């Protein structure tokens, strides 16, 4: 009898919850939410947060190497912002994790165990100053498209964090574009840096938005996130938006895109393109990308080497 009552209450709660998000209300950290919603948010936001943190590592290499004082200042500010985004997002994730008594420490352990994934682009190598520019221009450009899609997210704390993050990402994309423009207007070698970067990163940029449907990699969270109004557009719609925004810009600078089949089909109003190797997403998820292990090992290194600092700062148990 009690069980039945609880179930009824649960169903009613769920209906109320759905009605709230349908009405455009924001869900807050202490509000009741279905497990599926909480679980989806935890996965999404902790992955987003940890990706920001892991994303600082490929660019870090180029912070000291940036070729002028202004570029040094620019990239320092950018990497600091990314870390700040990571911190903001992990705080949002930590609130969601409370009912499970899990903390940031647990998220770090999940990362080291390979349970918490980070975005495919941050498994790649940043080989040159051209890559440092391209990451800002196109990777952050792609991130803006994917994140603005969630600005209206039904979960209030995430939506508010994204407001700030997206505003800063716009600066990052401008910072990246400025680096690329300087190289594009420069010597043959400098232009080659950009072309090599485009060739190297193109597939990763397409993978970044995720598979069009479940059938490419076996799973996809996009249906659930749309159902709960965490996002509005599908992966494919976002990828199409990326093409519409950047293909012309890349070509107008005189660079080529490593896909001879890429074209805009007027009839269907869609971009036709060579499908990336979707299997690579699984490779990255297993932390077997070109730089996955190096990045994890840097993160682990910092975590282990500074254990004494965390202990020294921990509140004393008397």
Partner 1 sequence: MRNESLKDIAIKELLLQLADDDFIHSYRGAEWLGLAPHIEEDVASASISQDTMGHAAIYYKLLDELGEGDADKLAHDRPAKERRNAIILELVNGPGHYMKDPDYDWAFAVVRNYFYTQAKAIKVQSLHSCSYEPLAEVAQKVQMELYYHLMHWKTWFVQLLGSGHLEAVSRMKAAIGKTMPDFAGVFSLGQYGEEMVELGLIEGEAVLQKKWIEAITPIFESVGLAATIQIGMARGDGRNGQHTEDLEKALKTLSEVYASDKAASW
Q: β-strands 263-265, 270-272: how paired? A: antiparallel
Q: How far is the CB of 54 from partner 1 (least distance, A)?
A: 9
Considering the rule CB under 8 A, would residue 138 count as an interface residue with partner 1? no
Q: Does 164 bind partner 1 (CB under 8 A)?
A: no
Q: Does 293 bind partner 1 (CB under 8 A)?
A: no
**Minimum Å distance from CB 299 to partner 1?**
7
CA–CA separation, 17 and 10 (whole Å): 10
Residues in region 56-115 near partner 1 by CB under 8 A: 56-57, 60-73, 76-77, 79-80, 83-84, 86-87, 90
Answer yes or no whether residue 286 interacts with partner 1 by CB under 8 A: no
Q: If you compute the radius of gyration of the chain from its CA atoms, what whole number of angstroms results?
A: 21
**Closer residue to partner 1 in complex, CB, 159/298:** 298
Buried (b) or exposed (e) across 22-43, using 16+ Cβ within 10 A? eeeebbeeeeebeeebbebbbb
Q: How many residues in the chain?
A: 318
Q: How far apart are the first and last CA of the chain?
A: 46
CA dihedral 285, 286, 292, 298 (to 10 degrees): 110
CB–CB of 93/45 below 8 Å? yes
Structure tokens of 13?
A: 């709660």
Number of residues in contact with partner 1, rule: CB under 8 A? Answer: 49
Would you count residue 302 as binding partner 1 (CB under 8 A)?
yes
User: At its nearest, how many Å lie between partner 1 and the CB of residue 144?
Assistant: 21
Subset of residues 189 to 248 that bind partner 1, contact rule: CB under 8 A:
189-190
User: Distance between CA 173 and CA 81 in Å, rounded?
Assistant: 12
186 binds partner 1 (CB under 8 A): yes
Q: Which segment (241-249, 256-264, 270-278, 298-306) binds partner 1 by CB under 8 A?
A: 298-306
Mapped onto helix, strand or coil, the DSSP state of residue 270 is strand
Chain Cα centroid distance, residue 243: 18
Give min distance, CB of 316 to partner 1, in A.
8
Q: What is the DSSP letter of 306?
A: T
Residue closer to partner 1 (CB basis): 80 or 163? 80
Side-chain half-sphere CA neighbours of 38 within 13 A: 16
Q: Give me the least distance between CB of 26 and partner 1, in Å please.
A: 26
Nearer to partner 1, 101 or 187 (CB): 187
Q: Which stretch binds partner 1 (CB under 8 A): 112-120, 168-176, 262-270, 290-298?
A: 290-298
Contact assessment for residue 201 and residue 213, using Cβ atoms and an 8 Å cutoff = no
Is position 253 an interface residue for partner 1 (rule: CB under 8 A)?
A: no
Please identify which residue in the block is written with the tokens 């998820």: 285
Beta strands, E only, the chain: 263-265, 270-272
Pick between residue 280 and residue 291 the one whose CB is nearest to partner 1: 291
Binding site for partner 1 (CB under 8 A): 53, 56-57, 60-73, 76-77, 79-80, 83-84, 86-87, 90, 129, 182-183, 185-187, 189-190, 294, 297-299, 301-302, 305-306, 308-313, 316
């Amino acid at each position: 009898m009690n069980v039945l009552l609880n179930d009824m209450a649960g169903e009613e709660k769920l209906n109320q919850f759905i009605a709230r998000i349908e009405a455009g209300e924001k869900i807050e950290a202490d509000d009741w939410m279905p497990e599926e919603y909480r679980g989806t948010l935890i996965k999404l936001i902790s992955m987003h947060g940890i990706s920001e943190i892991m994303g600082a590592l490929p660019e870090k290499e180029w912070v000291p190497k940036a070729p002028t004082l202004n570029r040094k200042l620019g990239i320092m500010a950018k990497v600091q912002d990314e870390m700040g985004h990571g911190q903001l997002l992990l705080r949002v994730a930590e609130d969601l994790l409370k009912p499970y008594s899990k903390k940031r420490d647990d998220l770090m352990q999940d990362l080291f165990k390979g349970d918490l994934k980070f975005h495919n682009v941050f498994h790649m190598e940043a080989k040159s100053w051209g890559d440092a520019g391209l990451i800002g221009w196109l990777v952050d450009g792609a991130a803006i498209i994917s994140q603005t899609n969630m600005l209206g997210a039904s979960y209030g704390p995430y939506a508010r964090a994204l407001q700030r993050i997206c505003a800063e990402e716009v600066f990052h994309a401008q910072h990246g574009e400025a680096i690329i423009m300087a190289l594009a207007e420069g010597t043959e070698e400098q232009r080659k840096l950009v072309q090599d970067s485009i060739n190297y990163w193109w597939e990763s940029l397409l993978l970044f938005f995720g598979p069009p449907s479940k059938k490419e990699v076996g799973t996809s969270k996009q249906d659930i996130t749309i159902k709960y109004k965490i996002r509005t557009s599908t992966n494919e719609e976002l990828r199409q938006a990326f093409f519409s925004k950047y293909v012309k810009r890349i070509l107008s600078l005189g660079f080529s895109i490593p896909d001879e089949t890429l074209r805009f089909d007027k009839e269907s109003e869609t971009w036709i393109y060579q499908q990336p190797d979707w299997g690579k997403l699984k490779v990255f998820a297993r932390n077997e990308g070109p730089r996955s292990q190096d990045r994890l090992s840097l993160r682990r290194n910092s975590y282990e080497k500074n254990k004494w600092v965390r202990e020294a700062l921990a509140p004393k148990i008397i």
